[in-house]
Amino acid sequence: MKIIVIDDEKDVQILFRQKFRKEIRSGTLQFHFALSGEEGLQYLQLNGTTDIYLILSDINMPGMNGLELLQEIKQQYPGLTVYMITAYGDDYNYREAIARGCDDYLTKPLNFEDLKDKILPQDLQN
């Protein structure tokens, strides 16, 4: 299962690789990282979406923000599952993310055990 993580902070890549180390090593999960909304869209355009299980996107990014990215993804690739992630759990971002079609809304700091429960089949956990 391939997951695309879109976040302008490079440290996020290290964190995901640590928290999903076992799943990456076993081949259960593959991660691709993009540092901007534009880079994330470019990846989808160049590589297609047939093997993408989930997109996790930060909301607050320079350039194309996560809400704009979400809207583009849902227009161009309506079948993709997109979870939005934010450090700011405010009502405006939540309402906008829901209105633009996000499949889940997560706040930072991420609870990786909860995230694993959401994305991994029960028999692949722990």
Domain parsing of the chain, residue ranges? 2-124
C-alpha span between 90 and 57 (Å, rounded): 16
In the CATH scheme, what architecture does the domain 2-124 have?
Answer: 3-Layer(aba) Sandwich (3.40)
Q: For the residues 31-50, what does the mean pLDDT come to?
A: 96
Q: Kindly indicate the confidence band of residue 9, based on its pLDDT and cuts at 50, 70 and 90.
A: very high
Which H or E run includes 107?
strand 104-107
Helix axes 66-76, 37-47, angle to 10 degrees: 20
- pLDDT for the residue numbered 122: 60
Q: Is the pLDDT of residue 121 over 80?
A: no
Which H or E run includes 115?
helix 112-119
- pLDDT for the residue numbered 124: 55
DSSP letter string, 57-76: EES--SSS-HHHHHHHHHHH
Task: Read off the tokens for 62.
Answer: 């320079």
Other beta carbons within 10 angstroms of residue 39's beta carbon come to: 15
C-alpha span between 24 and 21 (Å, rounded): 5
Question: Hey, which bits of 1-51 come out as E strands?
Answer: 2-6, 30-34
What share of the chain has pLDDT > 70, as a percent?
A: 96
pLDDT digits (tens, 9 = 90+) for 75-119: 999 999 999 999 877 899 999 999 999 999 999 999 999 999 999
